[in-house]
């Protein structure tokens, strides 16, 4: 087998044309090596391996030169086109910036109008039961049993708990025994008084001279004394009887009863607990409330006091009942303002037959206020500075003038202006703090909702 010798020509990299010529020469030599001098192809050696030719076509270098040249031309054209386009954009931006600097800044303005639309006042409120009571023990003793628990509905006079009162029972027994003794003593005194009376009558009717006047007066004194002792004994009987009646009446409080129809809201006792009579330094037994009708309390700000009074309709909403609105009316007011908060407390009564509302929850109370026609501007027109609230007036020649104003009511979206503006004035919305008084502006009139005016 013929093994050609590989020929490698080294050419300086800087000489591109010479490099491509050398590449073509190598390709021709490789072709001559791959094919024998006699034109025959290579045959396998003793190991069965056939040499593979890695030669290039004679025109490969020429094609590469053409491709590289075209790529360089395309890149050059693209560079010049992109550079020209960028310069054009920069020039346009410079011209636009120069025009903007020369033009006055744009502002949105609205015309001041008188509005008489209803205003809505939303206030926080809280619910209270129609009746709400804390039940304390009236007698001292131990809880024998409790018969109701939280959430239970009870009727008036229904037994809620039973108290075992050994001390009270002993006091009642002693009082009854004392009453019996007093009644017996009164009978003795009554007998003594009858005897003294008979004696006195006998001595008084005796013939003159049979008894001395001194003896007659002595019998009269004994009779008067016995009557007095009888009256004292009867008084003690009445006193002891009253004490027995008092203790017997207290035994009724061994059974703790509901004062009215309602729902148990709290139970703070258990069997065996020691309870003491009274409400000072003692533990309450139960909490009970009636809320088939419910009271809602809200605090009215001073600015709205003259617009809200007894009979004013109110709508009550609870966050946990988003689809329900409870309608009621103001039934009473405190007729005096809290000196700390400057608010007037009002009560709204609501029917609550289904007990959807419960005592002690937070609610929103909504009042519709019918306001008189007044100057109002969007809240975005106000500017708050150290000297007070202002608005930016836009004059007929589109010059800015800052005007002091006095604020009336504020519903969050529109602000009532008490003084400082007239109907038809133009005021700027959300004006930039870079604009100062006397600056010219480009006014664009918009509607009060911020949309472009038609």
**Mean pLDDT within 414-442:** 82
Please tell me the distance from the alpha carbon of residue 56 to that of residue 116, in angstroms, as a whole number: 95
CA distances for 368 relative to 222, 304, 373, 394, angstroms? 88, 11, 15, 34
In terms of Cα–Cα distance, which of 365, 382, 268, 254 is closest to 317? 365
pLDDT tens for 246-272 read 999 999 999 999 999 999 999 999 999
- 129 touches 266 (CB < 8 A): no
pLDDT exceeds cutoff 50 at 1: no
Out of 91-100, 146-155, 389-398, which region has the weakest mean confidence (pLDDT)? 91-100
CA 58 to chain centre: 89
Three-state secondary structure call for residue 116: coil
Residue 295, both tokens: 């009271």
E runs forming strands in 281-439: 286-301, 313-318, 321-337, 343-351, 362-369, 374-378, 382-385, 388-394, 400-404, 406-410, 414-419, 426-429
Partners of 389 in beta bridges: 384
Contacts of 357 (CB under 8 A, 6+ apart): 127, 291, 294, 316, 318, 326, 350, 363
Mean pLDDT score of the chain:
80
pLDDT tens for 192-210 read 888 888 877 776 666 665 6
Out of 95-104, 230-239, 254-263, which region has the weakest mean confidence (pLDDT)? 95-104
Provide φ and ψ at 96, rounded to 5°.
Answer: -65, -40
pLDDT exceeds cutoff 80 at 178: yes
Please tell me the distance from the alpha carbon of residue 257 to that of residue 161, in angstroms, as a whole number: 7
Pairing of strands 262-267, 274-275: unpaired
**Mean pLDDT within 11-30:** 47
| Residue 425: burial class (beta carbons within 10 Å; 0-12, 13-18, 19+) | buried
Please tell me the distance from the alpha carbon of residue 345 to that of residue 338, in angstroms, as a whole number: 8
Looking up tokens 């039961």 gives 129
Is 25 or 57 the better-scoring residue by pLDDT? 57
How does 150-175 read in b/e, with b if 16+ C-beta sit within 10 Å?
Answer: eebebeeebebbbbebeebeebbeeb
What is the pLDDT confidence band of residue 385, given thresholds at 50, 70 and 90? confident
Three-state secondary structure call for residue 302: helix
What is the pLDDT confidence band of residue 168, given thresholds at 50, 70 and 90? very high
**Mean pLDDT within 92-109:** 71
In terms of Cα–Cα distance, which of 137, 186, 165 is closest to 248? 165
Backbone region of residue 360 per phi and psi (left: phi > 0; alpha: psi in -120 to 50; beta: other values): left
DSSP state of 436: -
What is the pLDDT confidence band of residue 425, given thresholds at 50, 70 and 90? confident
Please tell me the distance from the alpha carbon of residue 303 to that of residue 207, in angstroms, as a whole number: 100
Contacts of 324 (CB under 8 A, 6+ apart): 317, 318, 356
Please tell me the distance from the alpha carbon of residue 121 to that of residue 315, in angstroms, as a whole number: 11
């Amino acid at each position: 087998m013929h093994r050609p010798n590989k020929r490698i020509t080294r050419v300086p990299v800087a000489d591109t044309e010479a490099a491509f010529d050398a590449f073509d020469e190598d390709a021709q030599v490789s072709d001559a090596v791959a094919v024998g001098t006699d034109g025959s192809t290579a045959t396998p050696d003793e190991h069965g391996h056939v040499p593979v030719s890695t030669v290039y076509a004679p025109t490969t270098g020429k094609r590469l030169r053409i491709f590289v040249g075209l790529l360089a031309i395309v890149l050059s054209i693209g560079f010049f086109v992109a550079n020209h386009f960028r310069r054009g954009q920069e020039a346009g931006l410079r011209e636009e910036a120069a025009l903007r600097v020369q033009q006055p800044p744009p502002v949105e303005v609205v015309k001041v109008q008188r509005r008489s639309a209803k205003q809505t006042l939303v206030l926080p409120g809280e619910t209270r039961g129609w009746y709400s009571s804390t039940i304390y023990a009236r007698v001292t003793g131990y809880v024998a049993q409790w018969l109701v628990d939280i959430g239970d509905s009870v009727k008036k006079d229904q037994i809620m708990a039973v108290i075992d009162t050994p001390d009270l029972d002993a006091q009642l027994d002693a009082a009854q025994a004392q009453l019996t003794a007093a009644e017996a003593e009164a009978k003795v005194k009554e007998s003594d008084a009858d005897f003294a009376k008979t004696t006195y009558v006998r001595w008084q009717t005796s013939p003159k001279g049979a008894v001395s006047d001194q003896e007659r007066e002595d019998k009269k004194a004994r009779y008067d004394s016995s009557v007095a002792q009888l009256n004292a004994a009867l008084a003690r009987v009445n006193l002891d009887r009253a004490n027995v009646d008092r203790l017997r009446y207290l035994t009724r409080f061994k059974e703790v009863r509901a004062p009215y129809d309602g729902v148990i809201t709290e139970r703070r006792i258990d069997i065996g607990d020691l309870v003491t009579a009274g409400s000072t330094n003692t533990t309450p037994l139960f909490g009970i409330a009636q809320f088939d009708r419910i009271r809602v309390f809200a605090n009215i700000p001073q600015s709205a006091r003259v617009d809200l009074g007894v009979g004013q309709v109110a709508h009550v909403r609870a966050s946990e009942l988003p689809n329900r609105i409870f309608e009621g009316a103001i039934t009473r007011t405190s007729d005096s303002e809290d000196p700390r908060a400057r608010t007037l407390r009002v009560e709204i009564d609501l029917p609550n037959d289904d007990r959807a509302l419960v005592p002690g929850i937070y609610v929103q109370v909504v009042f519709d206020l019918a306001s008189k026609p007044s100057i109002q501007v969007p809240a975005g027109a106000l500017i708050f500075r150290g000297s007070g609230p202002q608005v930016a007036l836009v004059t007929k020649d589109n010059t800015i003038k800052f005007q002091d104003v006095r604020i009336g009511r504020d519903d969050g979206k529109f602000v009532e202006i008490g003084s400082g503006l007239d109907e038809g004035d133009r005021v700027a919305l959300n004006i930039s703090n870079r604009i100062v008084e006397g600056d010219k502006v480009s006014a664009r009139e918009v509607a009060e909702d911020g949309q472009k005016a038609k």
